[in-house]
Amino acid sequence: MTQDQLVELVKRSLYEVAPDLEAEPLDPKRSFNEQFEFDSMDFLKFITGLHQATGLALPEKDYPHLVSLELAVAYLSEKLPS
Protein backbone atom coordinates (compact mmCIF):
# COMPACT_ATOMS: atom_id res chain seq x y z
CA MET A 1 0.00 0.00 0.00
CA THR A 2 1.25 3.51 -0.70
CA GLN A 3 1.71 6.11 2.05
CA ASP A 4 -1.35 7.96 0.79
CA GLN A 5 -3.44 4.82 0.91
CA LEU A 6 -2.27 4.12 4.45
CA VAL A 7 -3.15 7.66 5.53
CA GLU A 8 -6.62 7.14 4.05
CA LEU A 9 -6.98 3.78 5.77
CA VAL A 10 -6.06 5.16 9.20
CA LYS A 11 -8.34 8.18 8.75
CA ARG A 12 -11.20 5.96 7.64
CA SER A 13 -10.80 3.78 10.76
CA LEU A 14 -10.67 6.89 12.94
CA TYR A 15 -13.77 8.49 11.42
CA GLU A 16 -15.63 5.20 11.54
CA VAL A 17 -15.39 5.41 15.34
CA ALA A 18 -15.66 9.18 15.68
CA PRO A 19 -17.40 10.71 12.65
CA ASP A 20 -17.58 14.00 14.58
CA LEU A 21 -13.85 14.49 13.93
CA GLU A 22 -14.15 14.42 10.15
CA ALA A 23 -14.69 18.17 9.94
CA GLU A 24 -11.78 18.99 12.24
CA PRO A 25 -8.15 19.66 11.37
CA LEU A 26 -6.04 16.59 12.17
CA ASP A 27 -2.50 17.09 13.40
CA PRO A 28 -0.63 13.97 12.23
CA LYS A 29 1.96 14.24 14.97
CA ARG A 30 -0.26 14.62 18.02
CA SER A 31 -2.08 11.67 19.58
CA PHE A 32 -5.79 11.42 18.88
CA ASN A 33 -6.76 11.64 22.54
CA GLU A 34 -4.62 14.73 23.03
CA GLN A 35 -6.26 16.75 20.28
CA PHE A 36 -9.81 15.38 20.23
CA GLU A 37 -12.60 14.06 22.41
CA PHE A 38 -11.38 10.52 21.84
CA ASP A 39 -11.30 8.19 24.82
CA SER A 40 -9.74 4.80 25.49
CA MET A 41 -12.91 2.95 24.45
CA ASP A 42 -12.81 4.84 21.16
CA PHE A 43 -9.19 3.83 20.79
CA LEU A 44 -10.01 0.14 21.24
CA LYS A 45 -12.71 0.42 18.56
CA PHE A 46 -10.22 2.16 16.30
CA ILE A 47 -7.74 -0.71 16.78
CA THR A 48 -10.46 -3.25 16.00
CA GLY A 49 -11.25 -1.31 12.81
CA LEU A 50 -7.57 -1.28 11.76
CA HIS A 51 -7.34 -4.98 12.45
CA GLN A 52 -10.38 -5.70 10.30
CA ALA A 53 -9.10 -3.51 7.48
CA THR A 54 -5.56 -4.93 7.41
CA GLY A 55 -5.78 -8.42 8.91
CA LEU A 56 -2.80 -7.55 11.14
CA ALA A 57 -2.81 -8.98 14.67
CA LEU A 58 -2.08 -5.61 16.42
CA PRO A 59 -1.08 -6.90 19.87
CA GLU A 60 -1.69 -4.69 22.92
CA LYS A 61 2.03 -4.02 23.35
CA ASP A 62 2.01 -2.20 20.02
CA TYR A 63 -0.85 0.15 20.94
CA PRO A 64 1.55 3.02 21.80
CA HIS A 65 2.67 2.91 18.14
CA LEU A 66 -0.87 3.58 16.94
CA VAL A 67 -1.89 6.65 18.92
CA SER A 68 -1.37 9.28 16.19
CA LEU A 69 -1.84 9.39 12.41
CA GLU A 70 1.88 9.60 11.75
CA LEU A 71 2.82 6.78 14.12
CA ALA A 72 0.03 4.54 12.87
CA VAL A 73 1.00 5.03 9.23
CA ALA A 74 4.67 4.31 10.00
CA TYR A 75 3.71 1.19 11.95
CA LEU A 76 1.39 -0.14 9.25
CA SER A 77 3.84 0.53 6.43
CA GLU A 78 6.43 -1.52 8.27
CA LYS A 79 4.07 -4.43 8.99
CA LEU A 80 2.17 -4.57 5.72
CA PRO A 81 3.74 -6.01 2.59
CA SER A 82 4.40 -3.14 0.20
Amino acid identity at 12: R
Angle formed by the axes of helices 40-54 and 69-79, nearest 10°? 30
Nearer to another protein, 8 or 39 (CB): 39
Does position 25 interact with another protein (CB under 8 A)? The reply is no
Nearer to another protein, 46 or 69 (CB): 46
**Which one among 22, 28, 52, 79 touches another protein, defined by CB under 8 A?**
22
Please give the torsion angle defined by the CA atoms of residues 25, 47, 54 and 60, in that order, rounded to the nearest 10 degrees. 130
Does position 8 interact with another protein (CB under 8 A)? The reply is no
